[in-house]
Chain A
Amino acid sequence: MPKLAQALLLSTLFLLPVMSASADTLKAPTGKILLTITGKIKNTNAPGVANFDREMLEELGMVSFDTETYWTNGIQKFEGIPGKLLMEAVGVTEGKLQIQALDKYKAKVPVDDLINHRATLMLKNMGEYLTVAKKGPLWLIYPLDDEQKLLKKQINSRSVWQIKSIEVL
C-alpha cells in the first residue's frame, strides 16, 4: 500500500509541470500590458490569464480599413487586430465577452460579433497609435458597410473604447 501511494505521488509530481506547460501556450509579454483576457479561455500566459502587449497584438495580424463611425467626422482609416484572430489566439469560439473600459464602462459583446461581424480591436487611427485621449489604446470598431448586418443601436452600445480587459463568460 505505501508503495502504491508513493507511486501515485511520484506520478503526480511528474505530471504537474507537463500540465502547466500545456496551458501556457502563449508567449509572455515583454512590454507594457495593453489587454488582459480572463475567464473561459484555453490559452494563457499567466495563471488563468492571457496578457498582451502591443507587440504580441500586432503579431496576431493587423488589418486596415476605412470606415465611418458614429463618434468621428468623415471616413477614418483604422488599423487593428481582427477580433476573430484574437479569439483564436486564446482559443474561444463561442459565448459572450464582458469588455471593461478604462473609464469604467462595461459592455457585453457576443463572440459571434468578433468572428462573423468583423468587429476589430483598433490600435491605430490615421496612422497613429490611439492614445487614451483618442479613445485608445484599443477601440472595438464595427465596419459600417453594406455587409454589416447588425443594427445601429447594437453597434452603438458594443463599440467599446479605451478597452482595458476582456472577460470571457
Chain B
Amino acid sequence: MTQTRGRIKYFIIFIAFVFMCGVLVNAYLRNIDDDTEYTRRVRHVVVNAYELELKMLELQSAYNNFVLGHPSFSKDKLDLAHGIAISKYDTLLLGDTYKIIHPLKEGEVIGLIQNNFETFQALESDISNAQLNDKNLVRINDTIENKLIPNIQEFVKAIRIGTNWKSVAWETATKESRRIMQFAMIGILVISMALLSLLIFQFRATREALIQAEQAKVAKAKFLTVAGHDLRQPLQASSLLLSTLQAQSQSTENERLFKGIHHSLDSITELLNGMLDISRLDADLLTVNKESIPVTPLVNKMMDRYEEQARKKNLNLSLVNPNDSFISSDELLLERVISNLLSNAIRYTHKGDIRLIVDSSKDKVLISIHDSGSGISEEDQKVIFKEFIQLDNSMNDSQKGLGLGLSIVKRLCKLLDHELALTSKVGRGSQFKISLPKAAPIPLGLPNKTRDQWSLNGVTIIVVEDNEDISISFNLLLTTWGCTVLTASDMEQATTIAIQLKKAHSNDNNDLLIISDYHLHQDYNGCDVIENIQKIMTRKIPAMVITAETDPQRLEEIRLTGNSVFRKPLKPATLRVVIQRLLRQA
C-alpha cells in the first residue's frame, strides 16, 4: 500500500517534471520566434528610415527641377515624389513601426520624427502648389537641405541596428515568452528540490532502518550468548549428578527411570543446541574458522557420542574409515553437521544399520552417513532442508525434535562451503554425503585407531571449578570411575594442590590430568590456572577446559593456549573418552 503510494508520488513528480520541461522547450522556441520577429520588425523600421531619407532627397530634386523648368520633371512627378515622402512618414508614425520606435530612448527618437514631420507638413501646401520659377524655391530647398535631411540622418543614426534595440524594446517584445521560460525554470527547480528532499528522506529512513536492524542483531547475539551460557550450566550439573546417582543406586526398578531422565536431558540438550545454532545462523553470528583437522578423531568422537543411542534402538552403528585423512574445515561446525545427520539417522531408522563412511580421493574427503530407514521420496527431498519440517509424523512424541536438524546441516554446509548431497529411495534408506577438501596433515600425536576401553583407575584429576554443584558432580562421577579427584575453586587452592602434588610425586610422570572451568575469576581464567599448575609441576600436564562459552572466537582463543576445549554440557561418556584420549596422547 505505502509502496504503491510512494510510486504514485514519484510518478506524479515525474509527470510534472516532463510537463515543465515541455513548457520550457515551448517557451524557448517561442522566445526564439519572438526574437526573430522582433529583429525583422527592427529591420523594417531601419529600412523605412533610410527610405525616408532617400525619398526626401528625391523630392528635393523633383521640386528643384520642376520649379527651375527641367523638361523631364513634370508636376505629376513632383506630386508623386511628394506623396511617397508623406507615405514614408506615415509608415514610421503608424501601426507596428510606431510601437517599436516609441520605447527607444524614452520616446526621444519618436519625438524627433514627429518634429521632423511637423516641419515637413509646414512646407506641404507650398510644394503642392509649386509653379515654375516659384519664389519659395530657396526657402523650401534650404529647409529640406539644412533642416529635414540632417534631422532625418540624426534619427537614422539613432535607430541604426545595434544601438538600443536590445535593451528597451526587445524586452517588451519577448516579455511573455521570457516570463513563461522563467516560470518553467523555477518549476523545474522546485520539482528537482522536491525530488532531492524526497530521496534524502528515503535515504535517511533506510539508513535508520539498517541501524535498527543492526542493533537488533547485536541485542539478539547478546541474548543468545547469555541464554546459551546460563542454560548449559544447570544442564551440565544435572547430567553429571544423574550419572553419579545412577552409579550409586543401580537397581532393576529404577533402571528405566534413569534411562528416561537421561533421554529427556539429552533431548533438552539437543533441542537447546539446535535452537541456538539456528538462531545464530539467522543472526549471522557464526564465524567460520577453517583449519586442518584430522578426520579420524572426529569420526571416533561421533561414534562415541551416538553408539549408545544406536544400541538402545537396536541399530548397528558402524564406522568405515580406512585412511587417516586431514580435511580443511571448522571442527566445531563440522561436528554439528555430522551430529545432526547421525542423530537424524538414528531417530528415523527403526531397524537395520547406520554406517558412517569416510572415503578419500586425490583432493577430496567424502563423509557419508548411510541408513536403512524408510527413505525419502523425491518430493520430500525438496522440502526436508526447510525449517520445522518433519516427515515421519507418526513417531512417538518424545522422539520428536524441532525439525531443525537438516536445516542447520544445510545452512552450516553452505557456510562452510562443503557440498552436501542426498540420495534416497523410498524403502531403501538414505545417504547424506558431505564433500570436504583435503588438507595437509599437521604434526600431531597420531590418534589411535582402535578405541579400546582404558581403565581410569589410578588417574589423578585436578578439577578447578567455582560452581559448587558442578564441582561436586565431577567429584562423584570421576570417583566412580576410579579416579582420585582433587577439587579447587580458585587459583589459590589450585596452587596449593599443585605444590602438594609436586612434593608427593616429584618424578611421577603418568596419569595426571587437569579439568578446569574457563570462567573462574575476573582476574584470571581456566587457562591461567592450568598454566600456573604446569609451571609448579615443571611439566606439560594434559588439560581440558570446559566452558559454557559459545562465541567461536573465544573458543578459538582458548584452543590457541594449547588446551583442549569442550562445551558444556559435557556428557559423561564423552568426558570419559576425552580423558582417555588426552592421557594417551600425553
Contacts and interface: CB of A to CB of B under 8 A. Distances in A.
Nearest to B96: A70
B317 to A, nearest CB: 101
A133 B87 contact: yes
Contacts of A134: 87, 90
B91 to A, nearest CB: 6
B84 A103 contact: yes
Given A131-B83, A132-B84, A162-B84, A71 B51 contact: no
Contacts, number: 48
Contacts of B86: 132-133
A73 B51 contact: no
Given A103-B51, A152-B37, A156-B44, A132 B79 contact: yes
B94 A71 contact: yes
A102 interface: yes
Interface in B1-58: 37, 40, 44, 51, 55
A69 B91 CA distance: 11
Contact of B90 (A135, A153, A156): A135
B80 interface: yes
A70 B96 CA distance: 5
B84 A153 contact: no
Contacts of A135: 87, 90
A103 B88 CA distance: 10
A73 to B, nearest CB: 5
Contacts of B37: 152-153
Interface in A135-163: 135, 152-153, 156, 161-162
A72 B94 contact: yes
Interface in B60-110: 79-80, 82-84, 86-88, 90-91, 94-98
Interface class of chain B by DSSP: helix
Given A102-B84, A103-B84, A135-B90, A69 B55 contact: no
Given A133-B82, A133-B90, A134-B90, A153 B96 contact: no
A69 B96 CA distance: 9
Nearest to B93: A73
Contact of B83 (A70, A71, A72, A132): A132
Given A132-B87, A153-B40, A71 B80 contact: no
In the complex, which range does the number of interface residues on chain B fall in? 20 to 34
A72 B96 CA distance: 8
Contact of A73 (B44, B83, B94): B94
B177 to A, nearest CB: 15
A132 B76 CA distance: 11
A123 to B, nearest CB: 15
B539 to A, nearest CB: 112
Contacts of A69: 95
Nearest to B95: A71
Contacts of B88: 103
Nearest to B51: A103
Interface string B261-294: 0000000000000000000000000000000000
Contacts of B83: 102, 131-133
Contacts of B87: 103, 132-135, 161-162
B11 to A, nearest CB: 39
Interface string B151-194: 00000000000000000000000000000000000000000000
Interface of A: 69-73, 102-103, 131-135, 152-153, 156, 161-162
23 contacts: A69-B95, A71-B90, A71-B91, A71-B94, A71-B96, A71-B97, A72-B94, A73-B94, A73-B95, A102-B83, A102-B84, A103-B51, A103-B55, A103-B84, A103-B87, A132-B80, A132-B82, A132-B86, A133-B90, A135-B90, A156-B44, A161-B87, A162-B87
Given A132-B86, A135-B87, 8 more contacts: A71-B95, A72-B95, A73-B98, A133-B84, A133-B90, A153-B37, A153-B40, A156-B40
5 pairs of A and B residues whose beta carbons are closest in the complex: A132-B83, A133-B86, A133-B83, A71-B95, A70-B96
